[in-house]
């Protein structure tokens, strides 16, 4: 069984400040982790994914995430956010049945 916990439901941050969105997972099999972003009234867009190899994964729009097996975490970071980064962010883990288990989501609000 797999599960994902996103520790913060809402993260407000000022423009140009750094941000970290936290994600912890549990899985009994090999781990494949994803971060998706959902802008208002849109579908989900892949930001980045961890499959294997380097634990630091770079994604689109300046986001990166670090896979930490000992802490079972996959936190998402950006060094300087923009107003346009305001969106809902979902962490997800994939199962052998190709099912994505999503976390509850984190609403990132970038303030001017």
Partner 1 sequence: DTEVTQTPKHLVMGMTNKKSLKCEQHMGHRAMYWYKQKAKKPPELMFVYSYEKLSINESVPSRFSPECPNSSLLNLHLHALQPEDSALYLCASSQDRPGGFQETQYFGPGTRLLVL
Can you give the binding site for partner 1, defined by CB under 8 A?
Answer: 32, 34, 36, 41-46, 49, 51, 90, 94-100, 102-105, 107
Cβ 108 to partner 1 shortest distance, Å: 14
Cβ 82 to partner 1 shortest distance, Å: 22
Contact indicator for 72, 4 with CB cutoff of 8 Å: no
Would you say 15 or 49 has its CB closer to partner 1? 49
Cβ 18 to partner 1 shortest distance, Å: 25
Would you say 68 or 99 has its CB closer to partner 1? 99
Would you say 69 or 98 has its CB closer to partner 1? 98
Contact indicator for 91, 35 with CB cutoff of 8 Å: yes
Would you say 96 or 112 has its CB closer to partner 1? 96
Q: Which is it for the CA torsion 50, 23, 82, 47, positive or negative?
A: positive
CA distance 75 to 112: 24
Alpha carbon 103 to its chain's center: 9
Q: 46 has which bridge partners? A: 36
């Amino acid at each position: 069984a797999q599960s994902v916990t996103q520790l913060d439901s809402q993260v407000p941050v000022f423009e140009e400040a750094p941000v970290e969105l936290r994600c912890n997972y549990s899985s009994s099999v090999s781990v494949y982790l994803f971060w998706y972003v959902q802008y208002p009234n849109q579908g989900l867009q892949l930001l980045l994914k961890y499959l294997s190899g380097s634990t630091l994964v770079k994604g689109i729009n300046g986001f990166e995430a670090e896979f930490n097996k000992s802490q079972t975490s996959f936190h998402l970071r950006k060094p300087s956010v923009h107003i346009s980064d305001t969106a809902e962010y979902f962490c997800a883990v994939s199962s052998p049945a190709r099912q994505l288990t999503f976390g509850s989501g984190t609403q990132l609000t970038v303030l001017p």
